[in-house]
Structure 1
Amino acid sequence: MTALWTSAEAADATGGQATQDWDAQGVSIDTRTIAQGDLFVALKDVRDGHEFVAQALEKGAAAALVTHRPDDVDEDAPLLIVPDVLDALWALGRAARARTGAKIAAITGSVGKTSTKEMLRAVLEKQGKCHAAEASYNNHWGVPLTLARMPSDTDYAVIEIGMSNPGEITPLSQMTRPHVAMVTTVAAAHLASFDSLAGIAVEKACIMDGLEPGGIAVLNSDIETSQILQDHAVKCRVKQILFGETAADWAVKDVRITGDVTVINASRGSEDYLFKLSVPGRHFAMNAVGVLAVAEALGADPVAASLDIAGWAPPAGRGAREVIVTDAAKDGESLELLDDAFNANPTSLIASLEVLAASSPTDNVGRIIKGRRIAILGDMLELGDAEEAMHRGMAVNADLQKLDLIHCAGPLMRHLWEALPEEQRGYWVQTAAELVPQAPRLVDAGDVVLVKGSKGSKVSLVVDAIRKLGHRRSQQQ
């Protein structure tokens, strides 16, 4: 097996000193998931990674990237000693990028980065050797780690780039040096760190700063800040490809949500595309058309991509839809769960409510007889000074008004709960954990249940509690 990194290559990339020769097959920052033959990177976070070097080596790590030999590590241990571990990880990322001939796409956006990255991975891996970020590794350590893990013979790479403060995207884009940069959307997220939506758009546009010569920007034409993105593309002197309902390039003509499927009709010039996603959601449909635009821009076959994209399903916490069988002995004794508990802002909540409102509960099962559309909502965080008004304002959303029952958790969601009509109000609690013991009373067989909130609201606890009411099977089976 060809090594991902030899000690000589890693030392040359980082300017570090290897204590002995070694070959690494992967790169890891976490001893809980480290694999045999990985290079362990001893980053400092809540705890200093140097505390775990001995454990990593015991688990079979090929070597450890460190600033010094920890006291509990043997003197002859395989190490790569550098002045700063994070700087060295960045250097490994840059070196991995420099040695590959892969076509690289970088994706950012306030909503849908990870889902879009996974869609693009799903279609590109059918057309070549594809490398993509794990989970949502999109920050100052996630991007260089993803690059450092990239094999040199990769055909396509998909790099997710995120931000929470101004000035974060440009250096990550410049390290990635993408051939294609995509912005999914710009929405009210991280407003606590920005003065306005326009400020977020300016930062998102910076994903174009690292584009290779001849690079292409794939941009959403429908959002109110699209012109900011387009102006930045002009400034960077890169080609633009627009997607969306108002786009001249990849035009979305029709989106139909039918049960568990989204059917999309789009066009690219004189070519028409009719394809489907195996999951409901207008927001997924828009990003899917963007994925076809990126695939084409990378030199892949967009027709094949439009066929293969039906095999994609959202990961847990990001809109995954599953059936919870509450009584296997009774036909139909089940409920549908929409797990969207990883992230939330007004734009993504509106999209999820549209999916829930279009769903079909099942009557004549369970205790309550009538199937219901139920939302269990946790706080949307990092929205800035207008956060209370944004929560309260969701009460007038047309799709939310179609729901039967809404449970809320968190001090911000109390503002929405108080604005609801009495017949829609379920429980309100200070923390999501308080809903966990109430799970049997929150939902019933026949219901379709959306659980959504920012990760910090911990509504994923409620997802787990609902799953424990029965056993689950994926809607994509």
Structure 2
Amino acid sequence: MTPAAMETQTPLWTATEAIAATGGRGTGDWTASGVSIDSRSLETGDLFVALQGPNFDGHAFIGAALEKGAVAALASRVPDGLPSGAPLLLVDDTLAGLEALGGAARDRSAARFVAVTGSVGKTGTKEALKLALETTAPTFASSGNLNNHWGVPLSLARLPRDVAYGVFELGMNHAGEIGPLSRQVRPDVAIITTIEAVHMEFFSSVEEIADAKAEIFEGMTSCATAVLNRDNPQFNRLAAHARAQGLARIIGFGRHEEADARLVDYALNATGSTVSASILGERIDYRLTVSGLHWVLNSLGVLAAIVASGGDLGAAAAAMSKLVPLKGRGRREHIALPGGPFELIDESYNASPAAVRAAFQVLAQAKPGAGGRRIAVLGDMLELGAQEERLHADLAPELRAAQVDLVFTAGPLMAALDRALPASQRGGHAATAADLIAQVAATVRPGDVVLVKGSLGSRMGPLVEALRALDQSPPDAASPRAANGN
């Protein structure tokens, strides 16, 4: 059941409820079917929340939001030029008001709540949880990567009244950020996918990252469950944090012989993976329609969390065969050229050393067509701290091991990787991703498999769109672009 479908059954917020939740002063009598903080994506029936950031003030867009169909606006002041009698819910601070709405939604919900964090794999794990849980019961999940101090309360405020499960992603790049989010969500089950050397610009060690991720336990009670990567070197540290918070149940997942959700066997191929696992003592076989060992291992954590949440293990495992990566997070498609298509693997949303290595493994499994090559197009990995150049250069052996034929690089940090590559593997380097577009577009040919990967700040997304724009499918032809069921 989609969030939109659930919201049409029962009003999300009435004016009376929103006033009571926020302690604000209201004008107008309205009923909201959704909550939005962006007038551009707002839908008719939404309550518009006028947040204020360092570079914008949502109050400037209240008029546009109301014209577009917002039923009311949550604001801290009446903006100039707004018609008299416009429906407003006035509070002292709009972020605090949004948090109050989210808190009220959490209080009134009888759902089981699952929260996900980790250095990599958060959003994919969240989407897998949603897919698996909604096969048997109404489920709501935060959309995209709404995982910060705005996104989490917004997602809670959007929580329909009558769902059985709520799935939330919690993110951070500094210590002290996840704890407040956890106290808002109050998870019954928490998954930490893995701990890796990411955001090292803001941390002095991987152990500090583990401590920051362990803040997810702060909003949990002794009846809650922690689901942790048993293979990760930080497992014992995370488990100690969970026990210190009073959690009695800790489930480990992975290949480790002591893992409660243990990988028994698996096979990877270009279009997915087959998995045999023991989940809390129950043997189960299933298939993933996404490729990569990282997906296999995270699926174990998903299934363990399903069991801990009271879900149906068999139905959840069967649902794994319908998993589709999100745009920018592994989505695959075929782009038609004269003479045949090439395959595009879009990993443009984010990057860290661990995530890039996992993407190389996926590229290694891919099967180029006749005359095709494996091509990696890589942008800078950001927030890595003092060792950033070395971490980029260290990717060279991984590319050789993955039998990547050509490597294009963009950005000052990826220049270190370009220098570390043999001349035969260098496709080209540019100062920015935009400057690299023409080189890559002129190089790709039928049969190629092209991976695009980089941190969001390296702006690899426009390069992906430029490759998509090469598509020469006839206008009336069936789309050739879905690859491997994705």
* TM-score above 0.5, yes or no: yes
Moved more, 302-311 or 398-407: 398-407
Counterpart amino acid of 1:219?
A: L
Unpaired segments ≥5 residues, structure 1: 364-369
Question: What is the SS of the residue equivalent to 2:387?
Answer: helix
Counterpart amino acid of 2:415?
A: R
Unpaired segments ≥5 residues, structure 2: 1-8, 474-479
Within 5 A, what are the aligned runs for 1:38-117? 38-45=46-53, 46-117=55-126
1:262 equivalenced with 2:283 (yes/no) = no
2-structure distance, mates of 1:152, 1:80: 21
- Kindly indicate whether the alpha-carbon contact (under 8 Å) linking 1:262 and 1:276 is maintained by their aligned counterparts in 2: yes
- Kindly indicate whether the alpha-carbon contact (under 8 Å) linking 2:363 and 2:402 is maintained by their aligned counterparts in 1: no
CA apart distance, 1:270? 3.8
- Kindly indicate whether the alpha-carbon contact (under 8 Å) linking 1:357 and 1:399 is maintained by their aligned counterparts in 2: no
- Alignment match of 2:255 (pick from 245, 257, 266): 245
Within 5 A, what are the aligned runs for 1:247-326? 247-326=258-337
Within 5 A, what are the aligned runs for 1:157-168? 157-168=166-177
- Kindly indicate whether the alpha-carbon contact (under 8 Å) linking 1:279 and 1:321 is maintained by their aligned counterparts in 2: no
- Kindly indicate whether the alpha-carbon contact (under 8 Å) linking 1:122 and 1:308 is maintained by their aligned counterparts in 2: yes
1:362 equivalenced with 2:369 (yes/no) = yes
Structure 1 residues 442, 97: closer, same or farther in 2, change over 3 A? same
Within 5 A, what are the aligned runs for 1:105-144? 105-144=114-153
**1:330-386 alpha-carbon deviations (Å, 9 max, x no partner):** 4xx1111110000000000010001101211111xxxxxx21111000000001111
Question: What is the SS of the residue equivalent to 2:20?
Answer: helix
**1:112-151 alpha-carbon deviations (Å, 9 max, x no partner):** 1111100111111111111100110000000000000001
1-structure distance, mates of 2:324, 2:266: 18
Moved more, 263-272 or 283-292: 263-272
CA apart distance, 1:259? 2.0
**1:6-37 alpha-carbon deviations (Å, 9 max, x no partner):** 11111111110101221111100011111111
1-structure distance, mates of 2:236, 2:298: 18
- Kindly indicate whether the alpha-carbon contact (under 8 Å) linking 1:67 and 1:81 is maintained by their aligned counterparts in 2: yes
Question: What is the SS of the residue equivalent to 1:164?
Answer: coil
Q: Pairwise CA RMSD of aligned residues?
A: 1.2
- Kindly indicate whether the alpha-carbon contact (under 8 Å) linking 1:250 and 1:267 is maintained by their aligned counterparts in 2: yes
What is the match of residue 17 of structure 1?
Answer: 25
Structure 1 residues 19, 270: closer, same or farther in 2, change over 3 A? closer
Question: What is the SS of the residue equivalent to 2:61?
Answer: helix
2-structure distance, mates of 1:54, 1:384: 43
What is the match of residue 184 of structure 2?
Answer: 175
1:349 equivalenced with 2:356 (yes/no) = yes
Moved more, 258-267 or 95-104: 258-267
**1:167-197 alpha-carbon deviations (Å, 9 max, x no partner):** 0000100110010011011112111111111
What is the match of residue 416 of structure 1?
Answer: 417
2-structure distance, mates of 1:394, 1:248: 30
2-structure distance, mates of 1:218, 1:312: 21
Structure 1 residues 181, 311: closer, same or farther in 2, change over 3 A? same
TM-score, length-scaled by structure 1: 0.96
CA apart distance, 1:248? 2.6
Question: What is the SS of the residue equivalent to 1:254?
Answer: strand
Counterpart amino acid of 1:326?
A: L
Within 5 A, what are the aligned runs for 1:378-417? 378-397=379-398, 400=401, 402-417=403-418
- Kindly indicate whether the alpha-carbon contact (under 8 Å) linking 1:265 and 1:275 is maintained by their aligned counterparts in 2: yes
Counterpart amino acid of 2:266?
A: V
Question: What is the SS of the residue equivalent to 1:324?
Answer: strand
- Alignment match of 2:45 (pick from 37, 41, 55): 37
2-structure distance, mates of 1:290, 1:273: 14
Question: What is the SS of the residue equivalent to 1:191?
Answer: coil
What is the match of residue 434 of structure 1?
Answer: 435
What is the match of residue 6 of structure 2?
Answer: none
- Kindly indicate whether the alpha-carbon contact (under 8 Å) linking 2:221 and 2:246 is maintained by their aligned counterparts in 1: no
What is the match of residue 470 of structure 2?
Answer: 469
TM-score, length-scaled by structure 2: 0.94
How many residue pairs end up in the alignment?
467
- Kindly indicate whether the alpha-carbon contact (under 8 Å) linking 1:439 and 1:465 is maintained by their aligned counterparts in 2: no
Structure 1 residues 405, 122: closer, same or farther in 2, change over 3 A? same
1-structure distance, mates of 2:116, 2:306: 12
**1:292-332 alpha-carbon deviations (Å, 9 max, x no partner):** 011111000111100011111101100111111113xx4xx
- Kindly indicate whether the alpha-carbon contact (under 8 Å) linking 2:35 and 2:48 is maintained by their aligned counterparts in 1: yes
What is the match of residue 366 of structure 1?
Answer: none
Structure 1 residues 399, 263: closer, same or farther in 2, change over 3 A? farther
- Kindly indicate whether the alpha-carbon contact (under 8 Å) linking 1:395 and 1:401 is maintained by their aligned counterparts in 2: no
What is the match of residue 336 of structure 1?
Answer: 343
What is the match of residue 457 of structure 1?
Answer: 458
- Alignment match of 1:201 (pick from 210, 214, 224): 210
1-structure distance, mates of 2:423, 2:128: 40
CA apart distance, 1:101? 0.1
CA apart distance, 1:254? 2.3
2-structure distance, mates of 1:398, 1:233: 37
1-structure distance, mates of 2:81, 2:198: 43
- Kindly indicate whether the alpha-carbon contact (under 8 Å) linking 2:280 and 2:304 is maintained by their aligned counterparts in 1: no
What is the match of residue 151 of structure 1?
Answer: 160
2-structure distance, mates of 1:191, 1:54: 42
1-structure distance, mates of 2:402, 2:41: 44
Runs of 4+ in 1 over 6 A off after TM superposition: none
1-structure distance, mates of 2:274, 2:349: 25
Percentage of matched positions with identical amino acids: 46
CA apart distance, 1:213? 3.8
Question: What is the SS of the residue equivalent to 1:71?
Answer: coil
CA apart distance, 1:398? 6.2
Moved more, 246-255 or 78-87: 246-255
Question: What is the SS of the residue equivalent to 1:474?
Answer: coil
- Kindly indicate whether the alpha-carbon contact (under 8 Å) linking 2:360 and 2:399 is maintained by their aligned counterparts in 1: no
CA apart distance, 1:442? 2.9
What is the match of residue 446 of structure 2?
Answer: 445
- Alignment match of 1:216 (pick from 213, 216, 225): 225
**1:45-103 alpha-carbon deviations (Å, 9 max, x no partner):** 22100000000011111100001111121120110000000011011111100000000
CA apart distance, 1:401? 5.2
- Kindly indicate whether the alpha-carbon contact (under 8 Å) linking 1:394 and 1:400 is maintained by their aligned counterparts in 2: no
What is the match of residue 4 of structure 2?
Answer: none
Counterpart amino acid of 1:294?
A: A
